[in-house]
Structure 1
Amino acid sequence: MGLAMLCAILGAFIGMLAAYACGKYVGYPFINKYGRFIGITSERWEKAKKNYTDNAEKTLVLGFYIPGIRQISPYFAGISSIPFRKYFLFSLLGTILWTVPFIVAGYYVGDAFNVNPKYVPYLGVVFLVIFVLYVTIKYFKKRKQMSKS
């Protein structure tokens, strides 16, 4: 269990550091160039940046438990120029608080659930289809509302 925990912590943390570096060095030019295509105006960007920087510590620690936030938070931290030392410490804390409970829970509760590994890819496809349907429905609802106004 110790090696699994170490590998999980290192894997998640190194991923967070790599995403921070991408956000810091590539993110802002990318947002400036392509942000308008996905609805990121300079006003929206400044508002989002202020909200993020005001809550960066909480987002880095607790954001691991929120899908989507976990993935975008390090990019946003890099783009928002959160100091590296602050990012490093809070990201490490969040990584440990996220991975350790899952490894421990899996170790002690894992025998209670028998999931045949050959069905896991199908489960991933089901979740992908649900996600695509959700995004499509949301897009058409928004488009319908925009056409009414």
Structure 2
Amino acid sequence: MGNDAGHMNAVAEWAVALMESLGGPGVGLVIALENLFPPLPSEVILPLAGFTASRGSFGLLEALVWTTAGSVAGALVLYGLGACLGHARLRSIVARTPLMKASDVDRAAEWFARHGSTAVFLGRMIPLFRSLISVPAGVERMPLGRFTLLTAAGSTIWNTTFVLAGYHLGEHWTLVERYADAFQKCVVAAVAMSGIVFVLLRLRQRASGRIAS
């Protein structure tokens, strides 16, 4: 627990120093990195941006604009990675993965074709999925304009909530982290449970000889 607190303090100090030295662009850079490296949690970085704005390093509107710009920039990088991977290559990789089937990719593509827009928009407001949702959008080549608009819209809602909280709480910005951390743990638990159920079902299928490509 102490190590986690020390790590978060180090992240907070680094983020504040970068934002104070570079101003608004520093905020955008930190948020772009947060999208690319999930260990940098937005639930910490965003309230810090609001807190730093409250100290006069830059304006509140500037913080909101740059955090959204950073979110979109990071998401576009991941979208590009997904586009480079492509459906056919992903299908080939999945086909060689234990307990997975190439048809899983086809079903995921069909689901994304129906619900992709909603997934990208809402995914920007869910821990873990905030970054990951950009990859399948790239794999399935969602129109770039639509992806960018949906990402910007979802990110604006998420970012504004946390930046405003940090701005108004000031030195007590860590209160935001406590509630956000509880939300993230619920998401992680749900994902872990879904993963366990998936593995158990596939093992059962394998035992009955029903796994095919």
Fold shared by both chains (TM-score > 0.5) = yes
Local SS of the residue matching 2:78: helix
Counterpart of 2:138 in structure 1 is 78
Judge conservation of contact 2:125–2:154 (CA < 8 Å) in 1: no
Judge conservation of contact 1:5–1:99 (CA < 8 Å) in 2: yes
Local SS of the residue matching 1:65: coil
The question of 1:142 aligning with 2:200 is answered yes
> 1:94 offset after TM fit, Å?
1.2
Counterpart of 1:9 in structure 2 is 68
The question of 1:21 aligning with 2:21 is answered no
In structure 2, distance between residues paired with 1:138 and 1:82? 30
In structure 2, distance between residues paired with 1:30 and 1:110? 48
Measured at CA, do residues 40 and 28 of structure 1 come closer, stay the same or move farther in structure 2, by a change above 3 Å?
A: farther
In structure 2, distance between residues paired with 1:14 and 1:40? 32
C-alpha RMSD of matched pairs (Å): 3.2
- Measured against aligned partners, the alpha-carbon deviations of 1:77-105 in whole angstroms (never above 9, x if no partner) come to 01011111111111111111211111011
In structure 2, distance between residues paired with 1:6 and 1:24? 27
In structure 2, distance between residues paired with 1:65 and 1:38? 31
Larger fraction in helix: 1
Residue ranges of structure 2 left out of the alignment (5+ in a row): 1-59, 176-180, 209-213
The question of 1:47 aligning with 2:47 is answered no
> 1:26 offset after TM fit, Å?
2.1
Judge conservation of contact 1:27–1:75 (CA < 8 Å) in 2: no
- % identical equivalent positions: 19
Q: How many residues align?
A: 132
In structure 2, distance between residues paired with 1:113 and 1:102? 9
Between the two structures, name the one with larger relative contact order (CA 8 Å, sep ≥ 6).
1
Letter in 1 for 2:200: K
Judge conservation of contact 1:5–1:103 (CA < 8 Å) in 2: yes
Counterpart of 2:164 in structure 1 is 104
Judge conservation of contact 2:91–2:105 (CA < 8 Å) in 1: no
> 1:138 offset after TM fit, Å?
3.6
- Measured against aligned partners, the alpha-carbon deviations of 1:12-35 in whole angstroms (never above 9, x if no partner) come to 111111111110112435413421
Letter in 2 for 1:57: S
User: With structure 1 as the length reference, what TM-score do the two structures score?
Assistant: 0.70
In structure 2, distance between residues paired with 1:113 and 1:105? 7
